[in-house]
Every structure is written in C-alpha cells, then in structure tokens.
Amino acid sequence: DQYAFYSFVRHPMERFLAGFHQIEIFWRMNWIAGKIDKLGLLWWNTSCILSSEYEELDSHHPCTGSEPKSDVITRLGRLNSFLDDIESVGYFDQHIIPITYQLSVSPLITELSEKAQPQFFDIESMDDVSDTLATVTGYTMQKKDEYRKMVRTKDQDDKMTWIIFWSELTELATSGQGLKNAINREAKSAQNAIEKMCYLYENDVKCLPYDIPECKNIGIRSQ
C-alpha cells in the first residue's frame, strides 16, 4: 500500500520493428550465434544488407545468401524472412515477445492486488509522467535522474540501412497499386510483412489502445 506502480507501453508494430533492429545489431555483434544454431534461424542469410556502419563480427554466420544491397526490395525481403523465422520457431528473443504476454506474466500483474495494479502510459509520455510524479512527490529531479528519450539522427539511420519504420512500411504498402514494376513489388512485399505482423501480434492489436487500421483492413488470420 505504500507504493504506486506505473509502466510504459508502446505501439506494438513500432516496438516489433525496434526489436528487429536490435536483433540485427545482435547478429552483427556476434551475440546471437547460439540461437541461430539451436533454433535453425534463417533470416540472417537472406536478403543480405549492405551497411557501412557495422562490421559483421560473426564469422560463422556471414550473410552470403545474396549480393549485399540496401534497396527497398532487399530490406523488405530481410524483414519478411525475419517474420518467417518467428512464425516457424516462435518469439525467440525478449525484444520481440508480444507486449500483452509480457504483461500477463509480470509480477506487477500477477502478484499485486487489483487495487495496487500499475497505471500504464504510452512511451511518448515518459518525460511528462516522470516530471509530474517528481512534482507530486516533492522530489527534485537531479540531472542523473532525468528520463530523456534518446533521438537517433538521420545520419545514424542512413548507416543502419536495415532499419524500417512503421510509417515507411505502411506508406510502401499503399504505393504502386496496379503497377507491374519494382514499385508494385515493394508494395506487395510491404503488405506481406504487415499481414504477418498483424497475425503475430494479434493480441497486442486487439488489447492495447492503439488504432492500427492496417490490421483491420487486412483481416487477422485465425490461429
């Protein structure tokens, strides 16, 4: 009764894509080689990405499945392969486990009384919530205590060419309709990725207070 708990959630599609980005870093840093071998993951060797920022340190799992490129088709192909791995073996890293599942097994949910259940906020409001709590409790925020979001620069993103944002993915999915060219291929690949994401994160889409019309339009596949 002496504590008030609060936590932050995030748009599920943006969070998944951030997790995908994080695992790409893990592969380049040779931090996920064990899971690749144990689970038979395949994404790392498909649609190889040309990047000037991160050297591939995993000498046992170099991407040789295709010529390295950084074009849209290649980036989307790699994302789709990553999603195929999840469909095949499950959510193999905590960065891509659905938010609703993580909440369902959290002690903040399972062990606290109904009265003591945490309040949830969108991650975009982290700064405002932290400042408000400090004011309410009379705590003077010190510089080391400030929760300020890190902002990647465009220069950083340009060097990490595998990154795909949800806004970019949805824009690609609606481009090139009816065109029999590369743009149409990009649209179909983006649509395929969105459909897989909607299926894999069905509970997040249904249970979290985010409007994701792309999933409604596609229709979520039955288990």
The contacts found for 196-199 with CB under 8 angstroms, 24 or more apart, are 196/80, 196/83, 196/84, 196/87, 197/13, 197/16, 197/83, 199/87
pLDDT for 120: 79
Note whether 65 and 48 are within 8 A (CB). Answer: yes
Distance CA 53, CA 77 (A): 20
pLDDT tens-digit map of 186-195: 999 999 999 9
- Of 35 and 160, more confident: 35
Banded pLDDT at 199 (limits 50, 70, 90): very high
Q: What is the mean pLDDT of the chain?
A: 82
Distance CA 177, CA 33 (A): 39
pLDDT for 47: 95
Share of the chain above pLDDT 90, in %: 51
Burial class, 89, CB count within 10 angstroms (exposed 0-12 / middle 13-18 / buried 19+): middle
Name which of 52, 55, 54, 26 is nearest 43 in CA terms: 26
Note whether 223 and 118 are within 8 A (CB). Answer: no
- 207 Cα distance to chain centroid: 17
pLDDT tens-digit map of 96-124: 999 999 888 887 778 877 777 777 777 77
| Beta strand segments in the chain, E | 6-9, 119-122
Note whether 108 and 5 are within 8 A (CB). Answer: yes
Distance CA 162, CA 197 (A): 17
- Of 105 and 53, more confident: 105
> What's the whole-number mean pLDDT along residues 41-51?
92
pLDDT for 8: 78
pLDDT for 223: 44
Token pair of 55 as six digits: 């050297």
The answer, yes or no, to whether residue 201 has pLDDT greater than 90, is yes
pLDDT for 64: 92
Banded pLDDT at 73 (limits 50, 70, 90): very high
